[in-house]
Amino acid sequence: MEENNGRKMVHILVVEDDEKLNRIVCMYLKDSGFEVKGCLNARDAYDEMYNQIYDLIISDIMMPEIDGFEFAQTVRKVNKRIPILFMSAKDDLPSKQKGFRLGIDDYMVKPVELDELVLRVRALLRRANIEMERKIAIGNLELDADAMSAEVDGEEISLTTREFNIIYKLLSYPKKTFSRAQLMDEFWDVDSDTSLRAVDVYMTKLRNKLSDCDGFKIVTVRGVGYKAVLQ
């Protein structure tokens, strides 16, 4: 989260295939003090989530190719903490039950009252305490992005800033392969003369330091790069 006048900005992702409604919701949330990005389908939302850590997701259900149920299920596999609010024309109980079983946190039926939407968003953020913390908990490992700290079984593990950022990135998107070049571009200086082999060195260090973690492993994708796989 960026800071604005000392306050952390909350990033919200809106996934809605109705372009007009998407634009209206995004504008209203921005006017309410949030940083907002709108996507018209789940695939675009996945891409957006690779580039930015979001604090709350608002999603439609009936969308082309990947519907809201599948989208929410995929997000929950990656991030068990982020609040998800469904905003849908489907007003039937089975749809609501399915959504909550998949792990969503709230459900609004269209047409939505925008003032009520903002109230619900703020309530979800309070409950998730998302304005205070950004954490990933996988198995016995907990990463705190704001404190830049890593703990295994409650014991702090010493990671450099670069090591922390790399593992946080990998664990934010399990099963996604990141090439050595991608990791180099993101976590090393543009003018650095360091070779791509430096990425391999850091992965070896991370594997050693996190060897007691039981929830994932760092997998080498031969000829490409690395990914985190949940166990």
Q: What is the CATH number of the domain that holds 103?
A: 3.40.50.2300
Residue type, 33: G
Same-domain pairing of 161 and 85 = no
Strand order in the sheet with 141-144: 135-138, 141-144, 149-152, 155-157
Same-domain pairing of 48 and 159 = no
Q: Decide which of 99, 128, 157 is a domain's last residue.
A: 128
Segment 175-231, tens digit of pLDDT:
888 899 889 888 887 656 678 889 999 999 999 999 999 999 999 999 899 999 988
Q: Decide which of 128, 153, 169 is a domain's last residue.
A: 128
Same-domain pairing of 140 and 220 = yes
Segment 126-174, tens digit of pLDDT:
777 644 557 888 999 999 988 889 999 999 999 999 999 999 989 888 8
Same-domain pairing of 118 and 142 = no
Same-domain pairing of 123 and 201 = no
Is residue 116 within 8 A of residue 86, CB to CB? The reply is no
pLDDT at 129: 62
Is residue 11 within 8 A of residue 35, CB to CB? The reply is yes
In the chain, the number of structural domains is 2
CA distance 202 to 225: 12
Mean pLDDT of all residues in 96-119: 94
Mean pLDDT of all residues in 87-92: 95
pLDDT at 153: 94
Strand partners, 152: 141, 155
pLDDT band at 7; cut points 50, 70, 90: very low
Q: What is the CATH number of the domain that holds 189?
A: 1.10.10.10
Residue 43 — left, alpha, or beta (φ > 0 → left; ψ -120 to 50 → alpha)? alpha
Same-domain pairing of 90 and 173 = no
CA distance 114 to 25: 7
Same-domain pairing of 64 and 147 = no
Q: Decide which of 128, 147, 173 is a domain's last residue.
A: 128
- Distances, alpha carbon 210 to alpha carbons 62, 220, 221, 226, in Å: 41, 15, 19, 15
Calculate what percentage of the chain has a pLDDT beyond 70: 93
Domain of residue 197, residue span: 135-230
pLDDT at 130: 44
Same-domain pairing of 89 and 55 = yes
Same-domain pairing of 161 and 189 = yes
Segment 167-178, tens digit of pLDDT:
998 988 888 888
pLDDT over 80 (residue 120): yes
pLDDT band at 6; cut points 50, 70, 90: very low
pLDDT over 60 (residue 1): no
> How does the average pLDDT of the chain come out, rounded?
89
Mean pLDDT of all residues in 12-31: 97
